[in-house]
């Protein structure tokens, strides 16, 4: 059994890769930087996990097409790689205080290109490499604005990703395919993306390890989850309409 995790070199992606690897999957470590990807392969191998680096840069479609040409019989694709805004390498970019008015077109374009267009291109490129019962998993976030949660670039790109999840699910169902596509919302997780610490906000912020295990439990569920958006506690989100939640 084989799983490809994008952005597997750190954060939630690394822990999903590790958790799937511990449950017997051969892991394709998707990373945009070869050195970081190979270092991850070595870390996983030290835990007796079978892992191979594969170059996945969501901003470079050639890398996605080349990766698709190298992959076959893929059972699980986890679309984890993502950014919260026009990110500068090496620093967290999720700025929850940033006003909607302060987002630039460049912020929106960069985030949309990575989280939505790159992910779409990867899924499309890998369709012929998936097994008949393959699962495609999109890691996502809540999209309705609240007092503390209204990062325009991030939630706009994830809203587009969620629509894609549903439209692919519709097509799979309509054609009688046994493939599934679903979203997982891990909740707040302490990673470089937000610079938070595990246990912060009264324990609300999870460790990447907890998020990885929780996501893996959902991914490996026997249930048909096609078209679902599933929260970290296993709850299926049924009120996923965009609305002001002030």
- Shortest distance in whole angstroms from residue 25 CB to ligand NAP: 18
Distance CA(133)–CA(117), nearest Å, equals 24
Nearer Cβ to ligand NAP (171/197): 197
Among 2, 4, 5, 11, binds ligand NAP (CB under 6 A): 11
Q: Distance between the two ends of the chain, CA-based, in angstroms? A: 44
Closest by alpha carbon to 55, among 7, 107, 117? Answer: 7
Residues 47-66 as x/- pattern, contact with ligand NAP by CB under 6 A: ---------xxxx-------
Residue 123 in the binding site for ligand NAP (CB under 6 A): no
Q: What is the DSSP track for 156-186?
A: HHHHHHHHHHHHHHHHHHHTT---EEEEEE-
Among 4, 12, 155, 169, binds ligand NAP (CB under 6 A): 12
Nearer Cβ to ligand NAP (224/236): 236
Question: Quick check: 76 and 25 in contact, CB under 8 A?
Answer: yes
Q: With contacts defined by CB under 6 A, name the span among 5-13, 64-72, 120-128, 216-224 that binds ligand NAP.
A: 5-13
Strand partners, 78: 5, 137
Q: What is residue 3's three-state secondary structure?
A: strand
Nearer Cβ to ligand NAP (178/235): 235
The residue ranges that bind ligand NAP (CB under 6 A) are 6-7, 9-13, 32-33, 36, 56-59, 80-83, 114, 139, 141, 186, 188-189, 191-194
């Amino acid at each position: 059994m084989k799983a490809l995790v994008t952005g597997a070199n750190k954060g939630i992606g690394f822990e999903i890769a590790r958790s799937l690897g511990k449950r017997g999957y051969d892991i394709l470590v998707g990373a945009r930087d070869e050195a970081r990807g190979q270092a991850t392969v070595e870390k996983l191998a030290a835990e007796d996990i079978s892992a191979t680096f594969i170059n996945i840069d969501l901003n470079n479609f050639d890398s996605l097409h080349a990766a698709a040409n190298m992959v076959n019989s893929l059972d699980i694709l986890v679309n984890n790689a993502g950014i919260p805004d026009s990110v500068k390498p090496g620093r967290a970019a999720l700025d929850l205080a940033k006003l909607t008015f302060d987002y630039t077109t460049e912020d929106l374009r960069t985030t949309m290109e990575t989280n939505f267009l790159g992910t779409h291109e990867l899924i499309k490129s890998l369709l012929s490499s998936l097994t008949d019962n393959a699962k495609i998993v999109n890691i996502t976030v809540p999209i309705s604005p609240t007092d503390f949660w209204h990062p325009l670039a991030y939630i706009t790109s994830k809203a587009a990703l969620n629509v894609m999840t549903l439209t692919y699910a519709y097509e799979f169902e309509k054609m009688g395919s046994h493939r599934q596509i679903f979203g997982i919302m891990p909740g707040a997780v302490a990673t470089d993306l937000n610079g938070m610490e595990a246990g912060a906000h009264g324990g609300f912020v999870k460790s990447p390890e907890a998020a990885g295990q929780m996501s893996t439990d959902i991914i490996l569920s026997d249930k048909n989850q096609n078209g679902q958006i599933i929260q970290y506690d296993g709850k299926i989100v049924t009120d996923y309409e965009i609305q002001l939640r002030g």
